[in-house]
Amino acid sequence: MSLLLDLDPLHSFPLSEQLALEALILKGPAADRAFRQWVDCVDFENLRHEATLLVPALFDRFARKHSNIPHLPRMKGLYRLSFARNASLMHCAWHALASLYKHGVKTMFFKGASLALNYYPAPALRPMGDFDILVPADQYEMANEVLKKDGWRFRHSLEIRRQVKHSTDYINNLGQGFDLHIRALFEVDEDSFDKELLQRARPFSWRGVSVFIPPPEDEVLIAIVNAMRDGSLAKLLWLQDMARIMDRSPALDWHKIWKCAENYGLSEIFFHGLHIAMNVRGFEMLHPIMTECLSLSPDFENEYLHEVVKNGLTYGIDKNRISHFYGNILSNNSAMNKSISTSSGSEIVETDGPIGVIRIFETSNGLIKALHLNKHQFPAIPYLFKINDPFAWSKACHQLSNDSEGIIEFLPGTLEPYKIELPNEAYQIDFIIDQDLPSFMRPNETLTIKCSITNNSNFPWPLAGISKNLFGISWHVYSSEGAPLIWDNKREYLPSSLFLRKNHIIFIKPGIRLHSQIHFEAPDAAGQYRIHFDVVHELIRWFSQTNECLPVWNLIVASERISST
C-alpha cells in the first residue's frame, strides 16, 4: 500500500499498462507508436482489471486506424460491455436524480459520472462501477428517504452503515450502485469543504434535469485523492481522467487547487499524485506546476525534499536546489527535525525496506475513525493501540475478508492511538561497533562512532509519526568496577524516525540492518570507565534488559595521555 510514503515512479507499472497510458495521453505519432507497442506486449489472459478499464478508450481511439490488430475482437467486446453497463447505470441514475430534483434536493454528481459526461466524447470510454452524488448536509436525510421510496436499497449491513459516515451506498434490482454522499471525500471530515464544493459547482442540465457538476479544479483534486487512497499504483483511470480534464481546461487554476489541498490537509496526498503522474510520458508539464506548489509552501517543501532526498527519489525536482538542500538536510532549520533533540546521519542498508505502513484517519476532533492496512498487520494492532471496544474492532476486521489490503472503518473511539508496547521477545538486537575505539580520551572530548544494529527478533519494530516512543541508540557510563555512574545520554534516533509522517505507522521488520553514527562525548571527570552501548525504546524500556551481549568499551579519561611505562 503505503498510500504517500513510497513515491514510486511509473516504471513500477507493468510495461503493457505504461504503454496503454501513453497511447491515451500522448498525441500524434508518439501515441500511435505506444499503441503498437502495447498491442505487441499485452497479455489479455492476465490483464489486471484496472488495465481492462483503459481498453474501451484504446478501442475508440485506434480501432479504425489499426483494423487488423490481433486483439481487436476482445477490445471491441470490452468497449461494448462498457457501453452497455454505463448506459444502463446512467439511465437508472437519471431517474434517481429526476426524483431528487422533483423533491427540491440540490445534487452535484462527481467522480466517474461527471467525468464521463463532461470530458469524454462518449460515456462508454470511461467505465464506471457506480454513480456518485453529493447533496447538502441539511438535505441528506430527505435524499435518503427519496431513494428508498424509489426502490433503491442499502448495499451494506446496518453495522457497516453505522461505521461509514461520509456516504450511503445503494443498489437497485439490477445490482447497480448509487452512492449518496454527505462528504465528498473520506479524508475530509469538515462541513466547510463540502459547502464550498457545492458553492463552486456549476449548473448542468442533463436531459431536462437541473443538477450541478464540479469545476475542473475540483475534479482534479477529487480524482487524485480518490486514486491515492488505494495506493498510487493500484489504479490507472485517474491518469486518463487527468489528461482529459487538462486537455479540456487549459486554463486550470493550479494555485487554487493547491491552496484548497493545503487548507484541508490534502497537500501531501495531492502532491504525491502529481509526482506519480509526472513520471508518465505526456505529463511533463506538471514539473513547473509542482515547483510552484513547493515555492508557495516552504514548510511543506522542506519536508517533501527531505523525504525524497533521503530516499534518492528526486524525480522532477531541480538538481541545483536538491544539491543545495542536501547539505542542510539534517540541519536544525529543517522542519522535519524540530521535534527531535538530535540529528543523525543514519542510513538503512542491506534491506528491502519496511514491511508496510498503517495509515490512520481521524475525525475533526482527533478520534480515530479508520485505518488503511494489510491483513497481515492485524496482530500488531493490540501493541499499537488501546482497543476500547473489542467487539466493534472484531467486526471491522471483517471488512477485509476478501482483500489483503484496504480501509476499514469503525465507530470513532473504538481505538485510541499509539500505545506502542511490544512483547519482551521483540527487544532482541545485534549491535556492532564498526570501527576500532581508542583507549584514551580527554574530558568532554567528542568522537563520532560508526555502528550497526539489526532487528534480531521475530517482531517488527513500529515507528509512529506523532508518537514519543522512538528507538534511539545511546550509551551508559559505568565505573571500572561496574557501578553505574551516568545512565541517560544523548540519543541517535533510528533513521526512519527522521521522516515519519503524521498519522502513519511504519515498521522496521526482522532482519533489517541499519548503519548509524553515535556522537559520543567523554565524561568530564578523569578516571577509568566502562561504556555500555544500548538502544532505548523511549518511555518503554532499554534493550539491555533482554540482551546481555551489547558492546562494552573500556575507556580512560585524562587530561594527558597516560604512559604505558
**173-218: per-residue pLDDT in tens?**
888 999 999 999 988 989 999 999 999 999 999 999 999 999 999 9
The three grid cell numbers given for residue 2, joined into one nine-digit string: 503505503
The pLDDT, as a whole number, for residue 269 is 85
Q: How sure is the predictor about 327, in pLDDT bands with cuts at 50, 70 and 90?
A: very low
Q: Is the pLDDT of residue 231 over 60?
A: no
Q: Are strands 504-508 and 357-362 parallel, antiparallel or unpaired?
A: antiparallel
Alpha helices in 42-175 (DSSP H): 49-52, 55-62, 72-102, 112-118, 140-149, 158-163
The pLDDT, as a whole number, for residue 435 is 93
The pLDDT, as a whole number, for residue 496 is 42
Quick one: fold of 424-557? Immunoglobulin-like (2.60.40)
- Tell me if residue 212 falls in helix, strand or coil: strand
The three grid cell numbers given for residue 474, joined into one nine-digit string: 545511546
Q: Are strands 167-171 and 153-154 parallel, antiparallel or unpaired?
A: antiparallel
The pLDDT, as a whole number, for residue 344 is 36
The pLDDT, as a whole number, for residue 401 is 63
- Chain centroid offset of residue 428 CA: 30
Quick one: fold of 3-302? Beta Polymerase; domain 2 (3.30.460)
Q: At what angle do helices 254-263 and 267-278 cross, to 10 degrees?
A: 140
Q: How sure is the predictor about 386, in pLDDT bands with cuts at 50, 70 and 90?
A: confident
Q: Name the helix (H) or strand (E) containing 434.
A: none
Distance CA 472, CA 203 (A): 57
Distance CA 153, CA 281 (A): 43
Q: How sure is the predictor about 465, in pLDDT bands with cuts at 50, 70 and 90?
A: low
Q: Is the pLDDT of residue 13 over 50?
A: yes
- Model pLDDT for residues 336-352, shown as the tens digit of each residue: 222 222 233 334 333 33
Q: Which amino acid is at 309?
A: V
- Report the pLDDT averaged over residues 366-375: 84
Q: Is the pLDDT of residue 476 over 70?
A: yes
- Report the pLDDT averaged over residues 62-85: 92
Q: How sure is the predictor about 281, in pLDDT bands with cuts at 50, 70 and 90?
A: confident
- Report the pLDDT averaged over residues 376-391: 84
Q: What b/e readout covers 118-134, taking b as 16+ CB neighbours within 10 angstroms?
A: bbbeebbbbbbebbbbb
- Report the pLDDT averaged over residues 237-251: 95
- Model pLDDT for residues 405-457, shown as the tens digit of each residue: 778 888 888 998 766 678 888 899 999 999 999 999 999 999 999 999 998 98
Distance CA 97, CA 204 (A): 12
- Model pLDDT for residues 108-144, shown as the tens digit of each residue: 999 999 999 999 999 999 999 899 999 999 999 999 9
- Model pLDDT for residues 511-536, shown as the tens digit of each residue: 888 888 899 999 999 999 999 999 99
- Tell me if residue 170 falls in helix, strand or coil: strand
For residue 277, list its beta bridge partners.
none
Distance CA 397, CA 467 (A): 24
Q: Is the pLDDT of residue 230 over 70?
A: no
- Model pLDDT for residues 259-278, shown as the tens digit of each residue: 999 999 898 889 888 888 88
The three grid cell numbers given for residue 334, joined into one nine-digit string: 529543517
Query: Are 469 and 538 in contact, with CB atoms under 8 Å apart?
Result: yes
- Please state the domain extents for the chain: 3-302, 355-417, 424-557
Question: Quick one: which of 346, 352, 290, 257 has its CA closest to 6?
Answer: 352
The pLDDT, as a whole number, for residue 328 is 43
- Cell 489479455 belongs to 44
The pLDDT, as a whole number, for residue 367 is 87
Q: What b/e readout covers 511-528, taking b as 16+ CB neighbours within 10 angstroms?
A: ebebbbbbbbebbeeeee
Q: What b/e readout covers 300-336, taking b as 16+ CB neighbours within 10 angstroms?
A: bbbbbbbbbbbeeebebbeeeeeeebeeebbeeebeb
The three grid cell numbers given for residue 514, joined into one nine-digit string: 541499519
- Report the pLDDT averaged over residues 84-98: 95
Of all residues in the chain, the percent with pLDDT exceeding 90 is 47
Q: Indicate the average pLDDT of the chain.
A: 82
Contacts for 323-328 with beta carbons within 8 Å, 24 or more apart? Answer: none
Q: Which residue has the higher pLDDT, 345 or 27?
A: 27
Question: Quick one: which of 463, 467, 489 has its CA closest to 476?
Answer: 489
The pLDDT, as a whole number, for residue 538 is 83
Q: Is the pLDDT of residue 548 over 70?
A: yes
The pLDDT, as a whole number, for residue 441 is 95
